Copies of this chain bind each other. A is one copy, B any other.
Amino acid sequence: MKDLFQKAFDEGRDFLTERESYAMFAALGLDVPRHELIPDGAWLRGRLHEIKKEYPERVVLKVASPDIHHKTEIGGVAVVDNNADAIAGAFDAITTRAREAMPDARLEGALLMEYVQCEQELLVSLIDDPTFGYMLSVGKGGTLTEIFKDIAMRPAPVEKANVEAMVKSLKTYPLLKGYRGTKKADIGQIADFVTTISLLARPAQKSRQKAPAPFCRGFEVVELEINPLAITKDGRVLPIDSILRFRKTRPEEPDIAGKSSAPNEKNLDQLFHPKTIALIGASDTTEKMGGSILKLLIESGAAKVFPVNPKRKELMGLKAYKSISEIPGPIDLAVLAIPAKFTLPVVTECAEAGVKVAIVISGGFGETGTEGKKIEAQMAASARKTGMRIIGPNCMGVYFEPTKFSTFFLSPEKTEIPHCDVNNFTVLSQSGAVCVQMVELTRNVGIRGIVSYGNMIDVDVADLMAYFDRDSGTDVIGIYIEGLTDGAKFISAAKAMHKPVIITKGGKSRAGSAATVSHTGAIAGDYDIAKAVFKSTGLVEAETLEDFADYAKAFSFLHGRRPKGHRLGVISNAGGLAVLAADATEGTCLKMAKYCKATIEAIKAETGGLVIVSNPTDLTAGISDEGFAKAAAHILDDENVDALILIPGIQPRPMREDAIVDEIIRLYNRYDKPMAVTITPTEKRLAMFNRLEAARVPHYDTPERAVRALAAFVELLNGVENGAAQRSSL
């Protein structure tokens, strides 16, 4: 058994035959269909008597050859009754057809198998994703697999409880629960099977541990797909068809960029709290990048700034230096604002001068092709020699609110980084332009930190996540990523987070980059895999920039509030808007609350009995600001309500615009249940907006956006499963 992969490898194969796969499953302790190899007709005739006794009423014969993959297509499969004539006839027929169709194929005979009566068909797969490593999938198997794409996926290895949750999340789970005459399947037994299969994954940390199963020592699975995994009519869990591709375990590759699977926070304190900064490529005109940044650094005043420019003696009133080595004393941070072609030697110089961390602003490296990637590797190697960290290249660097330290060199007439009374939201973005867009869209949320981290040749998003998870002023982290170089490290950082993370991914193409031959590859592209990673590590995905901004506002403003459940109240003086809010809960975790009788009576009394009290609650146009607030308080007092959306629509009177804002802010401060407000965004109402935002009440232009954002917040807090439980700082 130990030689299963070796034998196939020696035969020049990178896959197991069906029989070998059964052997492997059996070696893992799993049940497989009864089967045997029939080498030839003579041998078969000698066995027919036993076959009759040992096999059930019907049997399957499949031509056995390591060279024939699509057996059905060449007529190489037959299902026949278990009697001598039928079996012998089928054997001759399929082997003859195979010989005719593929005369050069090595023919080992035919595989005889019991015919399995399926109650349900599942798909189970394990694929080694180039970014995230082994991903395990469970889903609907059979011919409908690719049509309905009903699969659940998460990084392997997995616990049994994970698998049960995955199975229960399937749309076709009702079929397994027993539905319209189908038998109830044993979910525990399915989960045991899948958990065992997941042992074939190397641990998520690629190449760091040996393969766990003895029979594949020296080899590793590239992809395994079992489709169908049969849940049989008599309750067995049996792999029927499978594909398994493997490769020789790669020797530990030299780790070019010095990456480790644990986040590395070394020197990041000096990145955000530098005492001394050298700006290489400093200029005295803000028309140039080196001038813009110099001005920003001087204005911040948080650190001593040393401009470097060999052609100048003084810049903006500061002594200029010819090179970094000329600067007296230690340098915490070097900012490189020089063209790409001059960058490598300067990075080396910085490293040798003992700089703790360098920000390389310029683009023109890895994003332009192989040549650029080579230079990046050299920069990383130089830095590693002395332990210097690098941010970038191809980035805008850092902004940190407490010290106003900033390298964000956009001219102030284009944009300014917004500043609020409370600043607890940190943005990490691979793209500079998306970073700016995110900061603008969350302008009233309160930005604490920004890192535009670019090509990630050293400091990557996982390092920054870990750092800001410990940063006491950051309550919520927002991330934009396109690609990742070390998916395993990202998973490890994501799992360890205590603070809520909102993440948007660019590059959502569903085309898989991995060359897989299985269904799973056709179903799950790179984006689906990334989605599965986000979900399973408890990150909150915002699919659009709109959602990103809306969630950021809810999470930052509502920080510290804990809903007890998913039951939502909606209150309005405008029936139609209340209806749209209730509609928008569909498909979210929020359920419309059922008010207590006392609540209903209290609201009725408040409104003179004129209003039919239900949820959503339409107090009608006749309600005053005071009446609205009193009714809202009754709903917030109701123990059947976990969260509230307030929609003071524009109505003629008696509601007063200023007064209702006062009332809402009072309620918001009095109750700690999560709330969101929808205010129709008229020009006349800008003042209402601003007052609500100053009071950090989340408000949205439309009922639907308020519901989506509040749902994301409630889901975060309630997502005990899938790793979100550890978000203890909420």
Contacts and interface: CB of A to CB of B under 8 A. Distances in A.
Contact of A649 (B437, B573, B586, B620): B437
B544 A584 contact: yes
Copies of the polypeptide in the assembly:
2
Interface in A400-449: 409-411, 413-416, 429-437, 440-441, 443
Nearest to A435: B576
Contacts of A179: 143, 147
Q: Contact size class for A?
A: 35 or more
Interface in A243-282: none
Given A143-B182, A441-B701, A434 B545 contact: no
A364 to B, nearest CB: 9
Nearest to A148: B148
A576 B682 contact: no
A682 B413 CA distance: 10
A250 B482 CA distance: 63
Interface string A644-661: 000001111100010000
Contacts of A546: 546, 701-702, 704-705
A414 B625 CA distance: 14
A189 interface: no
Contacts of A411: 652-653
A438 to B, nearest CB: 9
A409 B508 CA distance: 48
A652 B409 contact: yes
Contacts of A612: 368
Interface string A334-371: 00000000000000000000000000000100001000
Contacts of A413: 657, 684
A617 B409 CA distance: 24
Contact of A431 (B435, B575, B657, B680): B575
Given A287-B653, A433-B574, A433-B649, A171 B148 contact: yes
A144 to B, nearest CB: 7
A576 B363 CA distance: 14
A577 B437 contact: yes
Given A147-B172, A416-B684, A433-B576, A652 B482 contact: no
Contact of A436 (B292, B443, B480, B680): B680
Contact of A651 (B368, B433, B651): B433
A670 interface: no
A270 to B, nearest CB: 26
A40 B255 CA distance: 83
A580 interface: yes
A445 to B, nearest CB: 14
A289 to B, nearest CB: 6
Interface in A560-588: 572-577, 579-580, 583-584, 586
Contact of A680 (B175, B437, B508): B437
A681 B414 CA distance: 11
Contact of A577 (B72, B410, B434): B434
A701 B416 CA distance: 17
Interface string A505-542: 01111100000000000000000000000000000000
A292 B147 CA distance: 59
B482 A579 contact: yes
Contacts of A703: 545
Nearest to A507: B579
A429 to B, nearest CB: 8
A180 interface: yes
A181 interface: yes
A174 interface: yes
Which of A363, A368, A432 has the largest count of B CB atoms less than 10 A from its CB? Answer: A432
A17 B172 CA distance: 32
A287 B572 CA distance: 22
Contacts of A685: 414-415
Which of A509, A584, A653, A680 has the largest count of B CB atoms less than 10 A from its CB? Answer: A680
A330 B179 CA distance: 69
A480 B576 contact: yes
A701 B437 CA distance: 9
Contacts of A651: 410, 433
Interface of A: 72, 143-144, 147-148, 171-172, 174-175, 179-182, 287, 289, 292, 363, 368, 409-411, 413-416, 429-437, 440-441, 443, 480, 482, 504, 506-510, 544-546, 572-577, 579-580, 583-584, 586, 612, 620-621, 649-653, 657, 680-685, 701-705
The 4 A-B pairs of least Cβ separation, nearest first, read A431-B576, A433-B574, A434-B576, A508-B583
5 contacts: A368-B612, A434-B576, A434-B577, A506-B583, A544-B584
